[in-house]
């Protein structure tokens, strides 16, 4: 089994999502929960962005003991100085510096030639390496960059001291097949690639962030960057819980695993929801309210016989105590009878038949039937235990 490192950027890229900013106390609370979750690296913020961000990165760096703590920095001396100042007291600090490599970013945003970008990236990684032995370089907009230029930049920054090279799909433009080919190309054409972790960082503009991340793992990526609940710029980043549970559930296929304590996934997701106020949709994979809910009679019947009929992972594995059998108009007699027993009722076959008919009539009028409704239906006929 290959070990895939998890780099969580909820506190940096996640926080960049509109309305998701967190105060110092909240950031520390989230950082300690991410440590409990077992992330290998957490990006605590962008130290130069504001005095508040600097303070937050510094405090997180001082409190977290078991995860590497990184600060983002543009490839500029003043940013790198500030990032180092913020993370230097961490048990395991990292400076994460970045520069764009796509033609469109170099021409319109940076107004620099590829040669100038190559030189700046190399010099700034050298500069950061004087402070810290753990330096990550991100080629912003890598997925829209010329592959040979990208390889040249990565080879040069690894030579300058980078021990992680990151390949971001900054605008969520790539697709799984294309990204697989890109990672394979980089692996085969950067001569010193064995000296660095190959990291990927996917955004979700086409809804492909998780699929692209998994394709990259297959191609040989050793670090994935992601956020809790997939929060992040625009359509967000690849969701940590989805990548981790995909690798966990399909270990047989990927032959790879993370060090994530999966039972902390649900509590971490809830914490992010409450701290940011950013709600997740009910049918969101892994952590949505309906992710482990079953309503249809056929499914409920199967679940009662053997949970693996309709569940590919257990709710317990992500820290939920049980799956939810939702009683509604699609539910069948098996689930209804099971709920009666769980509520403490012992009814005869005829009584159950009557109560089940009444339940179906009620279910046609209500979206879901609650335990209180069932108690009312069974109440008159019960021999309560």
Which of residues 98, 149, 266, 359 is near ligand KIV by CB under 6 A? 98
Q: Which helix (H) or strand (E) holds 202?
A: strand 197-202
59 binds, among Zn ion, ligand KIV, none (CB under 5 to 8 A by kind): none
- Is 373 annotated in some ligand binding site? no
Cβ distance to ligand KIV smaller for residue 213 or 262: 213
- Helix, strand or coil, per DSSP, at residue 305: helix
What whole-number distance in Å separates Cα of residue 64 and Cα of residue 38? 11
Report the greatest alpha carbon distance in the chain. Answer: 84
What whole-number distance in Å separates Cα of residue 107 and Cα of residue 32? 41
Candidates 5-13, 35-43, 159-167, 326-334: pick the segment binding Zn ion (CB under 5 A). 5-13
What whole-number distance in Å separates Cα of residue 277 and Cα of residue 286? 19
299 binds, among ligand KIV, Zn ion, none (CB under 5 to 8 A by kind): none
Cβ distance to Zn ion smaller for residue 13 or 53: 13
Which of residues 27, 58, 201, 339 is near ligand KIV by CB under 6 A? 201
98 binds, among ligand KIV, Zn ion, none (CB under 5 to 8 A by kind): ligand KIV
53 binds, among Zn ion, ligand KIV, none (CB under 5 to 8 A by kind): none
- Is 201 annotated in some ligand binding site? yes
The label of the residue with tokens 């509109």 reads 18
Q: Would the CA dihedral through 121, 116, 82, 233 be positive or negative?
A: negative
Residue 242 in contact with ligand KIV, rule: CB under 6 A: no
Residue 168 in contact with ligand KIV, rule: CB under 6 A: yes
Binding mask 8-47 for Zn ion (x = CB under 5 A): -----x----------------------------------
Crossing angle for the helix pair 333-342 and 349-365, to the nearest 10 degrees: 110
CA atoms within 13 A on the CB side of 171: 10
Candidates 24-32, 164-172, 277-285, 305-313: pick the segment binding ligand KIV (CB under 6 A). 164-172
Number of residues that bind Zn ion (CB under 5 A): 1
What whole-number distance in Å separates Cα of residue 114 and Cα of residue 356? 72
At 112, give phi and psi (nearest 5°).
Answer: -135, 155
CA 352 to chain centroid:
45
Residue 140 in contact with ligand KIV, rule: CB under 6 A: yes
Residue 79 in contact with ligand KIV, rule: CB under 6 A: no
> Can you read off the two tokens belonging to residue 333?
């007699």
264 binds, among Zn ion, ligand KIV, none (CB under 5 to 8 A by kind): none
What whole-number distance in Å separates Cα of residue 155 and Cα of residue 247? 29
Residues found near ligand KIV in the complex (CB under 6 A):
13, 98, 138, 140, 166, 168, 170, 201, 203
Residues at the binding site are 13, 201, 203, 237
Residues at the binding site for Mn(2+) are 13, 201, 203, 237
């Amino acid at each position: 089994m290959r070990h895939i490192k998890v780099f969580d950027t909820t506190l940096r890229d996640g926080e960049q999502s509109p309305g998701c900013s967190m105060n110092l106390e909240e950031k520390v609370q989230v950082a300690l929960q991410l440590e409990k979750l077992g992330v290998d690296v957490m990006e605590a913020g962008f130290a130069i962005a504001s005095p508040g961000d600097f303070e937050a990165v510094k405090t997180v760096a001082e409190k977290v003991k078991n995860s590497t703590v990184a600060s983002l920095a543009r490839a500029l001396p003043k940013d790198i100085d500030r990032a180092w100042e913020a993370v230097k007291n961490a048990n395991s600090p990292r400076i994460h510096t970045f520069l764009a490599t796509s033609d469109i970013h170099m021409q319109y945003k940076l107004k620099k030639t590829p040669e100038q970008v190559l030189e700046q990236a190399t010099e700034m990684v050298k500069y950061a390496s004087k402070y810290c032995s753990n330096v990550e370089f991100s080629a912003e907009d890598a997925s829209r960059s010329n592959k040979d230029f990208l390889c040249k930049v990565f080879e040069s920054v690894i030579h300058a001291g980078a021990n992680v090279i990151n390949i971001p799909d900054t605008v969520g433009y790539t697709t799984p097949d294309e990204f697989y080919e890109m990672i394979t190309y980089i692996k085969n054409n950067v001569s010193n690639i064995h000296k660095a972790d190959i990291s990927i960082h996917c955004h979700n503009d086409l809804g492909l962030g998780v699929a692209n991340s998994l394709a990259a793992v297959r191609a040989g990526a050793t670090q994935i960057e992601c956020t809790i609940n997939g929060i992040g710029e625009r359509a967000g980043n690849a969701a940590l819980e989805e990548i981790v549970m995909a690798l966990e559930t399909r270990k047989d296929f990927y032959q790879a695993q993370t060090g994530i304590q999966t039972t902390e996934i649900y509590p971490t997701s809830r914490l992010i929801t409450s701290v940011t106020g950013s709600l997740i949709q009910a049918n969101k994979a892994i952590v949505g309210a309906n992710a482990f809910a079953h309503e249809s009679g056929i499914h409920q019947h199967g679940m009662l016989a053997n949970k693996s009929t309709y569940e590919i992972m257990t709710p317990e594995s992500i820290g939920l105590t049980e799956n939810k059998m939702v009683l509604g108009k699609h539910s069948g007699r098996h689930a209804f009878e099971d709920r009666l027993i769980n509520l403490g009722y012992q009814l005869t076959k005829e009584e159950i038949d009557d109560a089940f008919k009444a339940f179906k009539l009620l279910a046609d009028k209500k979206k879901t039937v609650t335990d209180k409704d069932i108690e009312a239906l069974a109440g008159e006929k019960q021999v309560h235990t």
